[in-house]
Amino acid sequence: MASRGANVVLSRANRMKTKLQSALSASLLEIEDVSHQHAGHAAVKGSAGETHFNVKIVSPKFEGQSLVKRHRMVYDALAEELQSGLHAISIVAKTPQETGAK
């Protein structure tokens, strides 16, 4: 998939970071590429890595939202990425208060 490779100027992780940051005004945002753990996974054969990520995000916008809603907000922000080969994201989505309470 050379053509796609050429288009990827920024790494997917960086693009995800920018998109999540602007969509959710995150006060904490950690993105970890764990694609290597899933190499050889049937569904990702042929794509050039950057398929699986762990995302930890703290945002005031999660306030009052159910877990499903929070995850949807993250997925919505990353819709384009999900259509272009991002396969799975493990999401920890918390509000600033929830992390403070810990």
Report the 10 Å Cβ neighbour count for 70: 21
Rounded CA separation 16/81 (Å): 8
Q: Are 61 and 93 in contact (CB under 8 A)?
A: no
77 touches other proteins (CB under 8 A): no
Nearer to other proteins, 6 or 78 (CB): 78
DSSP at 47: S
Selected range binding other proteins among 8-16, 23-31, 57-65, 80-88, rule: CB under 8 A: 80-88
Candidates 21, 48, 75, 96: give the one binding other proteins (CB under 8 A). Answer: 75
Return the amino acid letter for 82.
Answer: L
Interface with other proteins by CB under 8 A: which residues? 38, 41-43, 67-68, 71-72, 75, 79, 82, 87-92
